[in-house]
A and B are shown apart, each in its own frame.
Chain A
Amino acid sequence: MAAEIEDARTTPGWLRGPAVLLLLAQLVVFGLGFLYAQGMVAHNGPRWILKAEPIAFFGNWKMFTTVDRKQRDMDGYAMWDGEWAPIDLPALFPSRWESGPRYTRKTIRRSPKHLAILAGAACGRLTERPERVLLVDVRWRSKRGQREQPRWGKVREKPLMDWDCSREPPQVSGRPI
């Protein structure tokens, strides 16, 4: 038993060609994204493909592919009167997504410029302005079968940025609106 159809319409003939072109363009975006995800155009692609990255971004679907057996976090320290003290980064930067707090993004961790912006913001957000801020990347091995993943075993700590709070962090050039 099927529902009654009282009104049937479809794409007019003159629009069908452009509609097919639209679908082909969609396939091209996914194709470009696939090439980017494979790393096939990172260094040796033609210039027009490199320029197409913002478009390819929508077609790049590589999710939870490879295994990561490590936990990762970022610790923060601030210096007052020559003494280092831990600071509460989640309280200073509360925004978080399911991937974690904003400050733990790989794009920040891997860029000295972005780390400087983060450290500069930490200097400004602390109630008492410190002399320096230190950001440290922390890694340790995951344990299967448990929710809590406390630091254990060989914990690797790598200083990412030691920032002098008297300096002006790099700024973007956009006009505030």
Chain B
Amino acid sequence: MAGWWQARWTPVWAGGWTLARVLFCLAALYNQLLRYPRVADAYASTDMVFSYKPFYLADHVVLTPSTGFALWWTGLLALLALLWGGRLAKPALLIWLLSGWVLLSAEGFNIKAYDRLMTWQAVALLLGPIGERDLTTKARSPLGRWWLLVTYCCIYGSTGYFKARYEPLWWTGEALQWHMVLPYFGQTVVGAWISDKLWITWPLGVFTVLFECGFPLLVWFRRLNPWVLLAGVALHLGILLTMNVGVFSHAAIALYPVLLHPEIARAWWGRWQAWRGVGSGAPGRPGLSPACPSSGIAPALDR
């Protein structure tokens, strides 16, 4: 039992966190820029202030436009610091999170799925080693990755379950057709074009439900892990192409480098380095250390 418990905490290759931090930051920066025109009219509106569950901030304080813009600029600078990385990364992430949530709570009605997703992701980044440099040569605690796995499994699993359970038209492709012409969310060029082509929407609809329901079961298996994530990338790129859901696709894909099995990611990174002719290109340990059967990395070091 003690060995099993110890093995669960074996450090795992941390290189994926660097790419994830940068991709997350780019998605958040894009979202931050989209927020700017709304500051005076919505986040810090003086004539249209609402108080609504579950956030009742406006019952306590109402943001003036100058405070709203100050919060927006604070968030932008924090994201730039996060992009820069190093020791500033985690404090900057916290500041961005807090300033953003004050704006969102003040507006009250438009807290989007990607705002909540990015909050879950931000916690993972705080648990991960994003404050360090040269992560491609380091192995760190798997805790942040576990947090992310639980997050993605619950989100995909939940939304897939509801589709499978409550809307039979997902299995016929018809649900996707109507979603493609939804007001605002739909009506993209590609989405509208496929919305009357059942031979396209039927396989896409079935794929969506199978992926969302299957993700929580399959992503844990090392062999299947990259294929499941590849299917996820395809799903999110498809959503990006056919629907208007803001930065949801960008944000969802941003943390995939951490979801990828660390040993597979490490091997891919090694191949990439070798192909570029950079670094030692030394072969990895083909045999697995008995102390660390899952990673082949030196035994866990509690420093």
Interface residues of A, Cβ cutoff 8 Å to B? 1-13, 16, 19, 22-23, 26-27, 30, 33-34, 37, 53-54, 57-59, 61-69, 71-73, 93-100, 102, 105, 107-108, 114, 117-118, 120-121, 124-125, 142-149, 171-177
Contacts and interface: CB of A to CB of B under 8 A. Distances in A.
Interface in B155-194: 155, 158-159, 162-163, 166-167, 169, 174-175, 177-185, 187-189, 192-193
Interface string B258-272: 000001001101110
Contact of A26 (B151, B179, B283): B151
Interface stretch (B84-92, B217-225, B273-281): B273-281
A16 B270 contact: no
B138 A8 contact: yes
A6 B280 CA distance: 12
Nearest to A108: B109
B166 A66 contact: yes
Given A10-B300, A62-B162, A94-B41, A174 B283 contact: no
A77 B57 CA distance: 31
Contacts of B196: 144-145
A174 B136 contact: no
Contact of A120 (B47, B143, B169, B266): B47
B298 interface: yes
Given A30-B158, A94-B37, A149-B187, A1 B50 contact: no
Given A9-B139, A13-B302, 18 more contacts: A1-B283, A3-B136, A8-B298, A9-B301, A10-B9, A63-B159, A73-B183, A102-B110, A125-B47, A144-B196, A145-B193, A149-B181, A149-B183, A172-B62, A176-B46, A176-B64, A177-B61, A177-B67
What size tier do the contact residues of chain B reach? 35 or more
A44 to B, nearest CB: 18
A131 B73 CA distance: 39
A37 B165 CA distance: 13
A176 B62 contact: yes
A161 B92 CA distance: 44
Nearest to B54: A54
B47 A2 contact: no
A57 B111 CA distance: 10
A117 to B, nearest CB: 6
A30 B151 CA distance: 8
Contacts of B113: 61, 63
A175 to B, nearest CB: 6
B41 A121 contact: no
Given A26-B150, A69-B178, A171-B49, A7 B137 contact: yes
A147 B192 contact: yes
Nearest to B245: A98
B60 A144 contact: no
A100 B183 contact: yes
A67 B154 contact: no
Nearest to A63: B159
Contacts of A124: 47
B103 to A, nearest CB: 12
Nearest to A30: B154
A174 B62 contact: yes
A27 B49 contact: no
Contact of B175 (A4, A67, A125, A173): A67
A32 B107 CA distance: 24
A72 to B, nearest CB: 6
Nearest to A146: B192
